[in-house]
């Protein structure tokens, strides 16, 4: 129990495994003889899922943390800029309603009652369009920075769209060449345990037994260690969020100069929604749906109708059980990525939870086995909280919809809405979402994100709330947002133009 934690064994590659390896190796000097020993085992028999193509702005900090060149990342991962999400048709079955969830805070957020003044004098303007410049950048297909802006720096906050398969290969190369990660391409055939129940070693087909002090399960939905070996169950969320299937396809652009979208577009369907992600060379499009509310054939027909081209490639079918593990860290094993759980790709939370998990393991790494149980309890508490908040935030997108059909009616049923979300919606009748509702230092979604979705979905607060609005104070911030919009639209290149500049010339180092 007093032995130092010196050997980390990660099982599974892909984005989750290699991000985790990179963070641990960079933070704990795996390249040094005195550093942490980080080993990643990746079966050549198992292909990664490879469809998580959207990130949050946190990925910029993660890539910088592990020492990646942003120029190389753009070039090798077929990456593009993402500045938020656009939701189409989520409010009504008929019509052309839309709203943005941008990556920047509203102008003057926390300094004035932006919501009260918006309702009183500007309710005909979409909330995000009034309080933020970023929806206008997205609508015009603009990039979030200029060619002279250094790597990872931003004029407007941004994340990425990327090719998930290429991203895993890129991370593996960086981890092996720069960070000192030991790579074992092999298949795990057995698990040896200590007398106390801890994992002692993993038996492999070609490399024998690989011993470790801490084992990280990145084996995807099969969860070889935490799920199969330790039998930690998934806490199903199918009673809250119904989607359990997806059809994914890659679609080429009609021309080389086709504009590249600056946001993920999510378009509501009869029993789910369609994502549309723009990369430099293609679009990644997929239909996420509930198998209890529609058939695979109908889902594919809806996808083909959305894409609208006769020669659409055959889509790839994915299925999943929406939920998360009852524990994420059990004994000397932690699950990160799909092995920890999956809800649905709405709002791109999957890679963000990988980043958060790997960062917390690294930052709070136990010194000895005796410390590990305390760290595990803290980790489980933190991530149970985070998964619950993700579920509530995703459910918020559905509960306010007025779309027709059994799928949307079931999503509005009170018994499918988490109790905490019902309580918050009652409070928000009289005041906007605020830091008082989300009090942890590292919330998954800040209160501003809840405001963007809440008011984008048409939620109307009752007049005469707990605060008296100062219309002029808010109007000043609305004017600032409009002025920033004009200046940025005049100064920022298109997404495609900046990506072509990066391909040819690269970005400056900070």
Task: Give me the count of residues in the chain.
Answer: 510
CA dihedral 22, 85, 412, 131 (to 10 degrees): 120
Structural domain 7-53+163-235+322-372, CATH architecture: 3-Layer(bba) Sandwich (3.50)
Sign of CA dihedral 61, 66, 70, 75: negative
Q: Are 507 and 80 in contact (CB under 8 A)?
A: no
CA distance 37 to 255: 48
pLDDT of the chain along its 510 residues, tens only?
Answer: 678 999 999 999 999 999 999 999 999 999 999 999 999 999 987 776 655 589 999 999 999 999 999 999 999 999 999 999 999 999 999 889 999 999 999 999 999 999 999 999 999 999 999 999 999 999 999 999 999 999 999 999 999 999 999 999 999 999 999 999 999 999 999 999 999 999 999 999 999 999 999 999 999 999 999 999 999 999 999 999 999 999 999 999 999 999 999 999 999 999 999 999 999 999 999 999 999 999 999 999 999 999 998 888 899 999 999 999 999 999 999 999 999 999 999 999 999 999 999 999 999 999 999 999 999 999 999 999 999 999 999 999 999 999 999 999 999 999 999 999 999 999 999 999 999 999 888 899 999 999 999 999 999 988 766 466 688 999 999 999 999 999 999 999 999 999 999 999 999 987
- Centre a 10 Å sphere on the Cβ of residue 342 and count the other Cβ atoms it contains: 22
Sign of CA dihedral 255, 256, 260, 264: positive
Q: Are strands 333-335 and 214-217 parallel, antiparallel or unpaired?
A: parallel
CA atoms within 13 A on the CB side of 263: 27
The H helix count followed by the E strand count for the chain is 15, 21
CA distance 266 to 272: 10
- Location of structure tokens 């999510």: 266
Q: Are 407 and 298 in contact (CB under 8 A)?
A: no
- Location of structure tokens 């309580």: 423
CA distance 337 to 325: 11
With residue 57 as reference, give the H or E element that holds it.
none
Hey, where are the domains in the chain? 7-53+163-235+322-372
What pLDDT, on the 0 to 100 scale, is given for residue 441?
Answer: 82
> In sequence order, which residues have a C-beta less than 8 Å from that of residue 201 and are 6 or more positions away?
191, 192, 209, 210, 211, 212
CA distance 16 to 338: 8
> In sequence order, which residues have a C-beta less than 8 Å from that of residue 251 and are 6 or more positions away?
282, 283, 284, 285, 307, 309, 312, 313
Structural tokens at position 312: 């659409």
Helix (H, G, I), strand (E, B) or coil at 501: helix
Q: Are 8 and 26 in contact (CB under 8 A)?
A: no
CA dihedral 125, 126, 130, 135 (to 10 degrees): -130
CA distance 154 to 146: 8
């Amino acid at each position: 129990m007093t032995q130092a934690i010196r050997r980390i064994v990660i099982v599974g590659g892909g984005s989750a495994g290699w991000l985790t390896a990179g963070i641990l190796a960079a933070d704990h000097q795996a390249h040094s003889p005195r550093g942490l020993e980080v080993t990643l085992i990746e079966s050549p028999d198992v292909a990664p899922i490879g469809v998580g193509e959207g990130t949050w702005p946190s990925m910029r900090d993660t890539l910088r943390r592990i020492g990646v060149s942003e120029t190389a990342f753009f070039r090798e991962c077929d990456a593009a800029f993402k500045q938020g999400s656009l939701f189409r048709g989520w409010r009504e079955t008929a019509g052309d309603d839309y709203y943005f969830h941008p990556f920047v805070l509203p102008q003057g957020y926390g300094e004035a009652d932006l919501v009260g003044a918006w309702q009183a004098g500007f309710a005909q303007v979409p909330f995000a369009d009034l309080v933020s410049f970023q929806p206008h950048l997205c609508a015009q297909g603009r990039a979030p920075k200029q060619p002279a802006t250094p790597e990872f720096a931003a004029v407007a906050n941004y994340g990425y769209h990327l090719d998930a398969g290429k991203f895993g290969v890129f991370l593996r190369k960086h981890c092996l060449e720069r960070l000192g990660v030991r790579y074992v391409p092999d298949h795990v055939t057995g698990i040896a345990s200590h007398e106390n129940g801890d994992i002692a070693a993993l038996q492999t087909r070609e490399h024998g037994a690989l011993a470790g002090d801490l084992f990280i399960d990145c084996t995807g939905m099969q969860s070889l260690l935490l799920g199969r070996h330790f039998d930690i169950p998934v806490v199903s969320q199918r009673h809250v969020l119904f989607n359990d299937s997806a059809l994914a396809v890659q679609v080429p652009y009609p021309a080389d100069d086709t504009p590249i979208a600056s946001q993920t577009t999510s378009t509501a369907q009869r029993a789910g929604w369609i994502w549309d992600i723009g990369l430099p060379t293609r679009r990644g499009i997929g239909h996420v749906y509930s198998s209890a509310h529609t058939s695979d054939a109908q889902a594919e027909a809806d996808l083909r109708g959305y894409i609208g081209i006769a020669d659409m490639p055959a889509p790839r079918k994915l299925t999943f059980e929406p939920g998360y593990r009852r524990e994420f860290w059990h004994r000397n094993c932690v699950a990160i990525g799909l092995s920890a759980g999956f809800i649905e790709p709405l709002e791109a939370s999957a890679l963000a939870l990988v980043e958060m998990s790997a960062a917390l393991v690294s930052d709070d790494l136990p010194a000895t086995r005796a410390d590990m149980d305390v760290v595990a309890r803290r980790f489980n508490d933190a991530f149970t909280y985070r998964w619950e908040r993700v579920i509530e935030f995703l459910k918020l997108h559905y509960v306010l919809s007025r779309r027709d059909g059994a799928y949307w009616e079931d999503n509005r049923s009170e018994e499918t809405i988490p109790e905490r979300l019902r309580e918050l919606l009652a409070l928000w009748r009289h005041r906007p979402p605020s830091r008082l509702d989300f009090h942890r230092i590292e919330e998954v979604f800040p209160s501003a994100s809840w405001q963007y979705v809440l008011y984008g979905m048409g939620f109307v607060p009752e007049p005469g709330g707990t605060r008296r609005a100062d219309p002029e104070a808010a109007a000043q911030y609305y004017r600032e947002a409009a002025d920033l919009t004009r200046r940025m639209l005049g100064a920022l290149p298109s997404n495609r133009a900046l990506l072509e500049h990066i391909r040819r010339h690269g970005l400056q180092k900070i």
